[in-house]
A and B are shown apart, each in its own frame.
Chain A
Amino acid sequence: MVGSEERFEKISEKVMESTEADELEIRIIERDTALTRYANSQIHQNIGQEDVDISIRAIFGKKTGAASTNSLKESSVKDCLSKAETIAKNQKSDPDLKGLPEPKEAKKSKENYVDATVEFTPDKRASKVKEIIEMAKSEGVDRVYGAFQTEEQNLFVANSKGVKKFSRFTSSNLTTTAIADWDNDQGFGWSESCSADVREIDHMQVGRTAVEKGLNNMNTEKIDLGEYDVVLEPLAVKSILMYLDMMGLSAKKVQEERSFMKGKFGEQIMDERVNIYDDVADPDMIGYPFDYEGVPKQRVDLIDNGVANEVVYDSYTAGREEGKESTGHALPMPNPMSPLAMNLLMDTGDYSKEEMIEETDKGILVTRFNYCRPVHPVKGILTGLTRDGTWLIEDGEIKHPLNNLRFTQNLIEAFNKIEGIGEERTLFSMGFYPGYFAAPALKISDFNFTGTTEF
């Protein structure tokens, strides 16, 4: 990492001094990512990446322009400022623009930065991977696949109204897929673990879970399509939470009438045991304590005892509603996806996975979902497939593995048919999605399976 808080502050001060803009924001994101991928029980890709992004947002009246560069050189930053200013001057006025956010102190600031994660070398990653490979082999599984990633990030945000924030953040993530019988294309199993502290990743447990699932997932059978009770493991629930987030938990979606929350605030839209909230300060969550505009992230109770309660705001969407303030959920601006709940949690219940299975007469146990996509975002209809371990439950026991199934299901209806919520929750990252999720297992009745595949 080439930057530091002091260096970023100096860059920021120079930019603030030399701008002609009425308001100015500078945001610097620096990342060092290391990742070891393994497939067929061999390391086949192994990388280290470092990059920095300096973005400048200039505002003249109600006109905004933004530019970015990845060079910290004075001349490059100066060019970047000039470009942002030129764009802003040539821009059209936006009557809804209320300007950049004012400085605000966080009630609680948590920094998820762990030296051990930063110091985790390629050699250490390779050694852990090798141990997983050897353990799998000892269990008769010759092919495991996955990735071990560690990342260090710096985020600096300052604006001409006095916002100045810096935070560091580390994350680590290990995934393992086992394919117990490659020759016959079967025996898929999966597990993963995520933490700010790489020492908390129990690599052997991740590997063992994947191998065990793979070995128990041979000779799958087809099942008639229709509605079944489902026991969704936390990873499957994470996918559902992510799509709920995308389909409706932001102020922009509500303002544009593209959210299932629109017109429902104060109404009971889900089972009363459902509590979904965004809270970076929760002990089970990791992330920056402030958003990409430098606004401290507030806890937002999105679904409160099943009631549609609130959505997340950035400064722009807050400015469009009387009396609203940003909740600290801006993405790097300008950004058509902003705001977004980036630290989403669901409250736990009092069921163990075993109890959920025991109380199921006929149902399906799902490890995770693959390739989910909204079919009708405002109605909350989602489709996707099960992956890496799906089992039939009968009379309270797991009977046999099933071919993967496609569901097409209204999620709001599904969250009204909750039979049980898991007593623990698991933290997940999502490769392409700028957020983290802490999800429990769920038992849901009448989940609609509309298709099946050949494995």
Chain B
Amino acid sequence: MRDLVEFGIEELEKKDIQYGDIRLSEINTEVINVKNGTVEAIKSSESEGYGIRVIDGGWGFASSADISKKGIQNTIKRARKIAKASAKASEPIELKEVETHQDSYTTPYKKDPFKMGLEEKLNYLMDVNERMDIDDKIKVRKCDFHAWKTKKFFASTEGARIEQDLIKTGGGLNVNVSDGEDTQKRSYPNSFGGDFNSRGYEFFESLELLEHAEETAQEGVDLLDAKQCPEGDMDIILNTNQLALQVHESCGHPTELDRALGTEASYAGTSFMTPDKLGELQYGSDIVNIVSDPTAEGGLGTFGFDDEGVKARKVDLIKDGMFVGYQASREGAAKVGVEVSSSMRADGWKNLPIVRMTNINLEPGDWSKDEIIEETDKGIIFDGIKSWSIDDKRLNFQFGTEAGYLVENGEITDLIKNPTYTGITYDFWQNCDAIAGEDEWKLHGVPNCGKGEPPQTMQVGHGCAPSRFKDIRVGVGKW
């Protein structure tokens, strides 16, 4: 494979082009879904191919699964033809200079998830599934295992030569319950199939699905008889599984420089965090610090180098509440004069790298969750992603979670169903008055972030600790 990449670079260097790179990947995935005591799906996939970027008057990108020298030559030809067509409506392209690396990176892991016996994984999931079977109102009980292994080679006409071996693992469980009148859902440790990390099988084991199966199923059943979420303005406390998505939608996406510059305007949207607001916008209260950190240990967005060869680095996005940084590509950074953030990633070999979140983390505060609850007169704790929506500039959002817990006079007093809250991004973060500390800080994996055309799905991480937001509107809509 390395030889083929070298051949590709030699071919690119023979051409009269401004820049070229080639990224070849072998990707293996394994998915097991167990539902209602039977295996809904077990699937093993492998895919290999390469993508070639060139600047030849304009940008051109072509990808192919034809693993041969002839295939490489044809794909370079296609990429150049596309680049020349782009030149019809393209301004000169500048890439910010970065250090060129000849290096390698491997995800630290203990147990290779692909070497664990299928029967062992299957038996475990069947046990988990059976443990959830506690009530006739449970109509669907489901548990999942996912593993991904990627071997990547990256080389550029600037001299970069990078090899990476990345492993990711995760899983989770959920129930759908119905009493004929109402339907509810409850998941552990989170929605979207559970939780995911850049670690080996040991991460899946650490989720302790078996130990959480019954209590999750029971809470699903309990939700059917729970009180409807009240309407009004009150304090809310977000548990980490929901706060991860709040960070994702209301800080992760709007600090992507490509969105801020308009290059996603026709699809994902733009951003209210435009370059003129850099260093000027008080995004949150002064306890809010958010970073892009692909070096975070175990994060689903952790790697050694991004897909344009930039070494993984931590960048401040929000410092003491102030908007101070972007997730930026080499091209975007050159346009605006900001740092390159090592955020260019592609979904597999066949897609073009675009600015994607890595691990966008809210740094810990100095409270404990217990203290936050004790000092809340009236509020709701939100847990487990259920519904999420935000406008195309990332200002007006509305989230719903699987469960809510009413807090009255410093104590949890009731379970609440269909909890929702809504707000405007900067108002919301400016009302953040308590963030729990490092002991309760958790790095979640979100495996399904969509962006780009053709659509790309990215795996990203979000670290956070339970946090409180004052005077937020809850209980939206007619029920």
Interface residues of A (CB under 8 A from B): 2, 33-53, 64-71, 80, 83-84, 86-87, 90-96, 121-123, 125-127, 129-130, 133, 143, 145-147, 149, 175-177, 179, 182, 185, 256-258, 263, 334-336, 370-378, 381, 383-385, 387, 404, 406, 408-410, 431-432, 448, 450-455
Residue numbers in B under 8 Å from A373 (CB-CB): 387-389
Asked if B390 is an interface residue, CB under 8 A from chain A, the answer is yes
The 14 sampled A-B contact pairs (Cβ below 8 Å) are A48-B82, A50-B65, A51-B49, A87-B43, A96-B38, A121-B81, A146-B266, A177-B266, A258-B183, A334-B41, A376-B183, A377-B183, A387-B392, A453-B395
User: Given the complex of chains A and B, what is the CA–CA distance between A44 and B44 in angstroms?
Assistant: 35
Asked if B88 is an interface residue, CB under 8 A from chain A, the answer is yes
* Residue of chain B at shortest CB distance from A30: B65
Tell whether, in the assembled complex, residue A42 and residue B91 are in contact, meaning their CB atoms are under 8 Å apart. yes
B43 to chain A, nearest CB (A): 5
Contact status of A383 and B272, CB under 8 A, knowing A50-B63, A451-B422: no
User: Given the complex of chains A and B, what is the CA–CA distance between A50 and B477 in angstroms?
Assistant: 45
Residue numbers in B under 8 Å from A129 (CB-CB): 88-89
A102 to chain B, nearest CB (A): 22
Tell whether, in the assembled complex, residue A256 and residue B140 are in contact, meaning their CB atoms are under 8 Å apart. yes
Kindly supply a per-residue 1/0 record for chain B positions 432-466, scoring 1 wherever the CB is within 8 Å of any chain A CB and 0 otherwise: 00000000000000000010011100000000000
Q: Told that A35-B453, A50-B65, A182-B262 touch, could you supply 15 new A-B pairs with CB distance under 8 A? A: A36-B86, A39-B261, A43-B86, A49-B351, A68-B43, A91-B39, A123-B81, A149-B453, A175-B266, A177-B266, A336-B33, A371-B392, A375-B386, A376-B479, A431-B453
* Residue of chain A at shortest CB distance from B79: A48
Interface residues of B (CB under 8 A from A): 33, 35, 38-49, 58-67, 78-79, 81-86, 88-91, 118-119, 122, 126, 139-140, 176, 178, 180, 182-183, 261-267, 269, 272, 274, 350-352, 354, 386-393, 395-396, 398, 400, 418, 420, 422, 424, 450, 453-455, 476-479
Residue numbers in A under 8 Å from B48 (CB-CB): 70-71
Question: Of the candidates B62, B269, B392, which one forms a contact with A47 in the assembled complex, judged by CB atoms under 8 Å apart?
Answer: B62
A38 to chain B, nearest CB (A): 7
Tell whether, in the assembled complex, residue B58 and residue A385 are in contact, meaning their CB atoms are under 8 Å apart. no
Question: Of the candidates A45, A50, A375, A410, which one forms a contact with B64 in the assembled complex, judged by CB atoms under 8 Å apart?
Answer: A50
* Residue of chain B at shortest CB distance from A409: B477
User: Given the complex of chains A and B, what is the CA–CA distance between A44 and B352 in angstroms?
Assistant: 12
A213 to chain B, nearest CB (A): 13
Tell whether, in the assembled complex, residue A66 and residue B390 are in contact, meaning their CB atoms are under 8 Å apart. no
Query: Quick one: which of A37, A38, A381 has the most chain B CB within 10 A?
Result: A37
Tell whether, in the assembled complex, residue A387 and residue B118 are in contact, meaning their CB atoms are under 8 Å apart. no
Tell whether, in the assembled complex, residue B118 and residue A90 are in contact, meaning their CB atoms are under 8 Å apart. yes
Question: Of the candidates A46, A66, A257, A385, which one forms a contact with B178 in the assembled complex, judged by CB atoms under 8 Å apart?
Answer: A257
Tell whether, in the assembled complex, residue B396 and residue A406 are in contact, meaning their CB atoms are under 8 Å apart. yes
* Residue of chain A at shortest CB distance from B274: A185
A211 to chain B, nearest CB (A): 14
Contact status of A375 and B450, CB under 8 A, knowing A50-B65, A385-B396: no
Residue numbers in A under 8 Å from B269 (CB-CB): 370, 387
Contact status of A375 and B266, CB under 8 A, knowing A48-B78, A130-B89, A334-B43: no
Residue numbers in A under 8 Å from B453 (CB-CB): 35, 37, 45, 147, 149, 431
Tell whether, in the assembled complex, residue A92 and residue B88 are in contact, meaning their CB atoms are under 8 Å apart. no
Tell whether, in the assembled complex, residue A126 and residue B88 are in contact, meaning their CB atoms are under 8 Å apart. yes
* Residue of chain A at shortest CB distance from B67: A71
* Residue of chain A at shortest CB distance from B29: A68
Contact status of A46 and B38, CB under 8 A, knowing A39-B262, A373-B387, A408-B477: no
User: Given the complex of chains A and B, what is the CA–CA distance between A185 and B275 in angstroms?
Assistant: 13
B256 to chain A, nearest CB (A): 13
Residue numbers in B under 8 Å from A2 (CB-CB): 66
Contact status of A431 and B267, CB under 8 A, knowing A257-B176, A336-B33, A448-B477: yes
User: Given the complex of chains A and B, what is the CA–CA distance between A455 and B392 in angstroms?
Assistant: 10
A435 to chain B, nearest CB (A): 14
User: Given the complex of chains A and B, what is the CA–CA distance between A48 and B49 in angstroms?
Assistant: 13
Question: Of the candidates A68, A96, A384, A448, which one forms a contact with B478 in the assembled complex, judged by CB atoms under 8 Å apart?
Answer: A448
Tell whether, in the assembled complex, residue B39 and residue A46 are in contact, meaning their CB atoms are under 8 Å apart. no
User: Given the complex of chains A and B, what is the CA–CA distance between A129 and B89 in angstroms?
Assistant: 8
Question: Of the candidates B89, B183, B454, B476, which one forms a contact with A378 in the assembled complex, judged by CB atoms under 8 Å apart?
Answer: B183
B173 to chain A, nearest CB (A): 14
Residue numbers in A under 8 Å from B350 (CB-CB): 49, 51
Tell whether, in the assembled complex, residue B46 and residue A69 are in contact, meaning their CB atoms are under 8 Å apart. yes
Tell whether, in the assembled complex, residue A133 and residue B89 are in contact, meaning their CB atoms are under 8 Å apart. yes
Question: Of the candidates B63, B89, B388, which one forms a contact with A49 in the assembled complex, judged by CB atoms under 8 Å apart?
Answer: B63
* Interface pairs A-B: 7 shortest CB-CB: A334-B41, A408-B477, A122-B85, A453-B396, A145-B266, A126-B85, A378-B183
User: Given the complex of chains A and B, what is the CA–CA distance between A258 and B175 in angstroms?
Assistant: 11
Question: Of the candidates A38, A69, A387, which one forms a contact with B89 in the assembled complex, judged by CB atoms under 8 Å apart?
Answer: A38
Tell whether, in the assembled complex, residue A87 and residue B44 are in contact, meaning their CB atoms are under 8 Å apart. yes
User: Given the complex of chains A and B, what is the CA–CA distance between A123 and B88 in angstroms?
Assistant: 8
Tell whether, in the assembled complex, residue B61 and residue A47 are in contact, meaning their CB atoms are under 8 Å apart. yes
Residue numbers in A under 8 Å from B126 (CB-CB): 92
Contact status of A383 and B61, CB under 8 A, knowing A44-B263, A147-B267: no
B154 to chain A, nearest CB (A): 18
Tell whether, in the assembled complex, residue B418 and residue A375 are in contact, meaning their CB atoms are under 8 Å apart. yes
Contact status of A45 and B49, CB under 8 A, knowing A91-B122, A130-B88, A256-B139: no
Residue numbers in B under 8 Å from A381 (CB-CB): 477
User: Given the complex of chains A and B, what is the CA–CA distance between A51 and B122 in angstroms?
Assistant: 31
Tell whether, in the assembled complex, residue A39 and residue B454 are in contact, meaning their CB atoms are under 8 Å apart. no
* Residue of chain A at shortest CB distance from B119: A90
